[in-house]
Structure 1
Amino acid sequence: MDTSTLSAPLPPIADLLPHSAPMVLLDSITQWDEQNIRCQAHSHLQPDNPLRDAGVLSVFAGVEYAAQAMAAHARLLSPAAAGGPPRKGFLAVASKLNASVDVLDSLSAPMHIEANMLAHNADSSLYAFSLTADGQTLLTGQLTAVTVSDNSTD
């Protein structure tokens, strides 16, 4: 990742995402530029994490962490949209997933989420991502997100 970051002050994470608590999983953006974003999270360690199923937080719940990093990145790149609500979208494809653990909270350390934009147009984005904690890779893969056009009726 390029060590430079864009200098605009960052809004709160919750303002960048189309979610509200408790689904805002990211704590902070630690670095970003036009192609990449790095975020940090501790919510994978919380027993009341909304993605837990029967008390277990599958490593594949990490896809949502990566998707939130992508959404935050898209919002940061779109300053004209900053005054309104985040655009609605959905995760269309999760591919090339490679997990090295079974559960996200296998290490009791902050999780680092890195997403790198591979392709982007007005309606979709493709990112490669990695989730790490304590220097260990937890999950890697690629995500394609599709945004809903602004003139659609929901």
Structure 2
Amino acid sequence: MNDEALLLDQAGIAALIPHAGSMCLLDGLLAWDAHSIRCRATGHHAADHPLRTASGLLATAAIEYAAQAMALHGALLAQSTGAPAAPGFLASARGVRCHRLHLHDLPGALDVVAERVAGDAHQLLYAFRVQHAGTPVADGRAAVVLHPGETP
């Protein structure tokens, strides 16, 4: 996975989503189409990770990785049509299964995939999964509420 060509690096991703600085958790766009996106993240083992707690980076942080992939997907879709991306927020995460307790002890890259299941101009539903070396880390569904007409 680390040898795959990137379509966007972290600077390119940061230019499209509202997450800035160390809160931009994705560092590579690997693939995307109208229904899905696949990204890479490698900073989960950093001691100064912005979501790290005293016990380390909990696996629930995978939800934020997935949410950022969803935001990037929306921005790329909007960019492909020439329209501005509608800002939104994560409204809920459901059916989330964490397959381990922590992320910081995983030595390689995380593979972050989000697939759009349904949506309209007001809300979106994605299924997501985060994996490490082909092994599931976390998966679930997430609902995003959009604010069409507002500037990102």
Q: Output the TM-score relative to the length of structure 1.
A: 0.85
Equivalent residue of 1:26, what SS? coil
**What is the CA-CA distance between 1:105 and the residue it aligns to?**
2.3
Equivalent residue of 1:13, what SS? helix
Q: Distance in 1 between matches of 2:97 and 2:75?
A: 27
Q: Given that residues 18 and 87 in structure 1 are in contact (C-alpha distance below 8 angstroms), is that contact kept between their aligned partners in structure 2?
A: no
Equivalent residue of 1:62, what SS? helix
Equivalent residue of 1:81, what SS? coil
Per the alignment, residue 83 of structure 2 pairs with 81
RMSD: 1.8
Q: Which runs of 5+ in 1 are unaligned?
A: 1-8
Per the alignment, residue 41 of structure 1 pairs with 41
**What is the CA-CA distance between 1:70 and the residue it aligns to?**
0.2
Equivalent residue of 2:96, what SS? strand
May I ask how many residue pairs the two structures share in their alignment? 141
**What is the CA-CA distance between 1:99 and the residue it aligns to?**
1.0
Per the alignment, residue 113 of structure 1 pairs with 112
The CA deviation string for residues 70-96 of structure 1, in whole angstroms up to 9 with x for no partner, is 0000111112235xxx54321101001
The CA deviation string for residues 117-150 of structure 1, in whole angstroms up to 9 with x for no partner, is 0011112110000000112100000000112232
The code of the aligned residue for 1:61 comes to A
Per the alignment, residue 56 of structure 2 pairs with 56
Q: Which runs of 4+ in 1 moved over 6 A?
A: none
The code of the aligned residue for 1:21 comes to G
Q: Given that residues 86 and 150 in structure 2 are in contact (C-alpha distance below 8 angstroms), is that contact kept between their aligned partners in structure 1?
A: no
Q: Which moved further from structure 2: 101-110 or 70-79?
A: 101-110
